[in-house]
Amino acid sequence: MVASLDPSVGEDALAIECEEYLTWLAVERGRATNTLAAYRRDLLAYQRFLQQRGRLVPEADGDDVIGYVNTLRTRGLAPASVARMSVTVRGLYKFLLVEELADADPAADLEAPRVPRGLPKALTEAQVNALLEAVTGNDAFARRDRAILEVLYGCGLRISELCGLSLGDVDLTACLARVFGKGSKERIVPVGRFAAQALTDWLSVEGRDALEPVRWRRRSDAEALFLNTRGGRLSRQGAWAVVHKYGERVGLHEVLTPHVLRHSCATHMLDHGADIRTVQELLGHASITTTQIYTKVSTERLNAVYREAHPRARGKVAGGNVIGATVVA
């Protein structure tokens, strides 16, 4: 077999086999740009590990793969990160074997580490209200930031979905937005009253028009719903900075991320009686299993409120009396 990459080649150059795998993921599987970037980082990390052993990607054996996973564990990475990086390696060798770019699959017996399923962290409704009210003023940036927060929470969007919105994707008359999610899957989401009003204020002479440059650098910038300070399409990092800025103002910066607003949207909808299938469609989950975890969050919040509020939910029962409660049996 022809050597794919000499260990002396620069660290950022991927082996041709890895590049072909990424191309297959993009073309055949329709993986999103951010997902492909994560795969690339994982493959680079694996390749560097092999280079330290003087091995090439198609020459690796089972000991190499297991050694790599064990190294990830000793680095103190989160179980979810170890699992994701392990799945990347397994997928690579399955592809290479099918395409006859490797003689065997060294990752065939590799079991991905189990990842304990954590519960999504959601803000309380009072915290969300405080966050939204933290945007003060009425200049172009205040209008933009208010619209960003209202849409993230009101529509339950991922940050990449928000930044990918173009002017033609939003219909404020019908209060609907077209969103492209993971794998470029399209869905239509409702735009609530507060989010619609915030977008209307943003899409005005005093809002978006004030940030438009004299000359657009790219066509995609001219079509972008949200603009940065230079008049270009707002990036994920820029939107993240907006969320963090107002999180700091209300003391939520340690727990607040754009995805927490998405979690909060789903949790609050279920708290108020929304059907789980409706929430699944709103969030763009491919599987109902992903959405079901929010029902556990909602139930736990209900139980917590019940234990705090109901007089017979607390205290110990002794001789028919509820100790610590105001009501006696």
The set of residues, in sequence order, having a beta carbon less than 8 Å from that of 197 and lying 6+ positions away, is none
Q: What pLDDT does 226 receive?
A: 97
Does residue 246 have an active-site annotation?
no
CA dihedral over 90, 94, 100, 105, signed as positive or negative: positive
146 residue type, one letter: R
Is 262 catalytic? The answer is yes
Question: What pLDDT, on a 0 to 100 scale, did the predictor assign at position 105?
Answer: 92
Confidence at residue 316, expressed as pLDDT on a 0 to 100 scale: 56
Q: Which pLDDT does position 319 carry in this prediction?
A: 54
Least trusted range by pLDDT, from 44-53, 94-103, 114-123, 207-216: 114-123
Q: Which tokens in the block code for residue 239?
A: 């939107």
Distances 265 to 152, 261, 292, 298, 305 between C-alpha atoms, Å: 8, 6, 14, 11, 19
pLDDT computed for residue 301 by the predictor: 64
C-alpha–C-alpha distance, residues 224 and 170, integer Å: 11
Task: For residue 111, name the pLDDT band (cuts at 50, 70, 90).
Answer: confident
Contact 299, 306 (CB under 8 A): no
Question: Is 285 in the active site?
Answer: yes
Separation of alpha carbons 126 and 69, rounded Å = 43
Q: Given this model, what pLDDT does residue 189 score?
A: 93
Confidence check: pLDDT of 325 > 70: no
Q: Which of 158, 208, 233, 263 is catalytic?
A: 158
- Reply yes or no on whether the pLDDT at 196 is more than 90: yes
pLDDT interval class at 109 (50, 70, 90): confident
* Residues ≥6 apart with Cβ < 8 Å to 311: 322, 325, 326, 327
Q: How high is the mean pLDDT of the chain?
A: 86
- How much is the pLDDT for 302? 63
The number of beta carbons lying within 10 Å of the beta carbon of residue 28 is 9
Which residues neighbour 26 within 8 Å (Cβ) at sequence distance 6 or greater?
36
Active-site residue (options: 55, 121, 178, 182) = 182
Stretch 286-311: mean pLDDT: 72
- Between the two ends of the chain, the Cα-to-Cα distance in Å is 82
DSSP state of 314: S
Give the mean model confidence (pLDDT) for residues 296-315. Answer: 68
pLDDT band at 8 (very low <50, low <70, confident <90, very high): very low
136 sits in the region (left: phi over 0; alpha: psi -120 to 50; else beta) called beta
- Residue pLDDT, tens place only, 145-195: 999 999 999 999 999 999 999 999 999 999 999 999 877 789 999 999 999
H/E stretch holding 9 reads none
Euclidean distance between CA atoms 193 and 67, whole angstroms:
54
Q: Is the dihedral of CA 110, 7, 28, 83 positive or negative?
A: positive
Question: Is the pLDDT assigned to residue 4 strictly greater than 80?
Answer: no
User: Which residues have CB under 8 Å from 322's CB, separation 6+?
Assistant: 311, 312, 314, 315, 316, 328, 329
Q: State pTM to two decimals.
A: 0.66
Task: Name the active-site residue from 31, 40, 90, 262.
Answer: 262
Give residue 115's pLDDT band: very low, low, confident or very high (50, 70, 90). low
CA distance 233 to 251: 28
One-letter amino acid at 24 equals W
The lowest-confidence range among 105-119, 177-191, 241-255 is: 105-119
DSSP 59: G
Question: From the DSSP assignment, how many helices (H) and strands (E) are in the chain?
Answer: 14, 5
For 108-111, the CB contacts below 8 A with 24+ separation are 108/62, 109/62, 110/62, 110/65, 110/66, 110/69, 110/86
Give the residue-averaged pLDDT of 256-280: 89
Nearest C-alpha neighbor of 53 from the set 71, 73, 75, 29: 71
Q: Which domains does the chain have, with CATH numbers?
A: 16-98 (1.10.150.130), 125-283 (1.10.443.10)
pLDDT bracket for residue 116 (50, 70, 90): low
Set 53, 259, 301, 314: catalytic member: 259
